[in-house]
Structure 1
Amino acid sequence: MANSLQDQLLKAGLVDKKKSQQIKKQKQQAEKLQRKHKVSTEDDKVDITAVRQAEAEKSRELNRKRDEEAQARAIMAQIKQMIETSHINHDKGELAFHFKHGTLVKQIYVTAEQQAQLERGQLAIVSFEDRYRLVPRIVAQKIAERDAGLVIFLNEPGYAGQHQADEDDPYKDFVIPDDLMW
């Protein structure tokens, strides 16, 4: 059976017996301390620091996501408050106002005054909580700053009645009356 390096050095006379026993005793004490107190070696320290850094990075990422979600909830609460405080009741309208939402054509019932304001760009239509609401232009612009997808219909001021006729349009001589209801 092969002797340990320490025994070989002792036989060769390079190390004396007292020094050999002292080194052996220190090694045993270090192992005992490591088992008892879990004192880590250099490799363990490196592993522990790497694990701690990974945990810190993970917690920073979770905190960042949590902050983003809280900010999104705060923005939605602001939008809800703006809509609730400034929406215009359109339940009593008798005219159907048609508008495009995505690929669908939707309609809401408005009064004649509200229809004119929508055409002039003074009112806008926003979609919130699966309902369409009429809000003033200023409120719609503030909502669009926070979430542009909620503003469904908003004409530019002065847009009504300024349709540009094409030169080759065969119906350019026929004017559509303002009081025509479809």
Structure 2
Amino acid sequence: MSSLQEQLMKAGLADKKKATQIKHEKRKKAKQQPKGHKAKDELKEQIAADKQRKIEQDRALNEQKQAELKAKEQRATIKQMLEHHGVTDFKGEIDYNYIYQGVTKTFKVNPKIKQSLVQGTLAICAIDNLVKLIPDVIARKLQTIDPDVVLVMHDRLAKQDIDEDDPYAEYQVPDDLMW
């Protein structure tokens, strides 16, 4: 079978002059367009996509490093506050139990410190195996930075809601029972 141009010429719908002119224009367009033009465009697109992906990876890595740096700074701040504001004169003969990293630990405290812990004016805080007794004001500041640092802090403002129908309402249950 012959080409479409030949078929049109045989049918009398196109002449030889018109066919050569169309062929010439086709060849001219092909020569004007540089060879490998499509390959260059694809290469440029691939380079741009790689560059964009690299920028996104760098941004994500930078955000991760910033978060790690911020966490490290917070830990250093917490440690410094614990060391600076820690109560040192608490040694006594009364055991005060608390839980740290899933294990029950014990402080030997004097009666005054125990009463302060029960009332909520002192708190037990820990970070990286550094456990300290600190004032509740400092413990609240630490709690805003990292809630996991505060191990024991009784709320001194909390009052138990007493139910009017409770038959034991007039009997107070002490919080400092020794078991």
TM-score, shorter chain, exceeding 0.5: yes
Structure 1 CA distance for aligned equivalents of residues 43 and 94 of structure 2? 77
Task: Return the letter of the residue paired with 2:132.
Answer: R
Give the gaps of 5 or more residues in structure 1. Answer: 1-11, 35-39
State the 1:132 CA deviation. 2.2
Would the aligned equivalents of 2:90 and 2:113 in 1 still touch at CA under 8 Å? Answer: no
Structure 2 CA distance for aligned equivalents of residues 159 and 64 of structure 1? 40
State the 1:87 CA deviation. 0.5
SS for the counterpart of 1:93 is: strand
User: Which shifted more, 145-154 or 83-92?
Assistant: 83-92
What's 1:125 paired with? 124
Aligned length: 162
SS for the counterpart of 1:95 is: strand
Give the gaps of 5 or more residues in structure 2. Answer: 1-18
Structure 2 length normalisation: TM-score?
0.68
What's 1:89 paired with? 88
Give the CA RMSD over aligned residues: 4.0
State the 1:92 CA deviation. 2.7
In structure 2, relative to structure 1, the CA distance for the partners of 1:142 and 1:81 (3 Å cut) is: same
Task: Return the letter of the residue paired with 2:77.
Answer: Q
Would the aligned equivalents of 1:96 and 1:109 in 2 still touch at CA under 8 Å? Answer: yes
State the 1:158 CA deviation. 5.4
Would the aligned equivalents of 1:97 and 1:108 in 2 still touch at CA under 8 Å? Answer: yes
In structure 2, relative to structure 1, the CA distance for the partners of 1:16 and 1:121 (3 Å cut) is: closer
SS for the counterpart of 1:41 is: helix
What's 1:63 paired with? 62
State the 1:31 CA deviation. 6.1
Residues 1-182 of structure 1 mapped to structure 2, 5 A cutoff: 13-14=20-21, 41-89=40-88, 92-101=91-100, 104-157=103-156, 167=166, 172=171
User: Which shifted more, 136-145 or 95-104?
Assistant: 95-104
Structure 1 length normalisation: TM-score?
0.67
Structure 1 CA distance for aligned equivalents of residues 30 and 178 of structure 2? 104
Task: Return the letter of the residue paired with 2:55.
Answer: A
SS for the counterpart of 1:82 is: helix
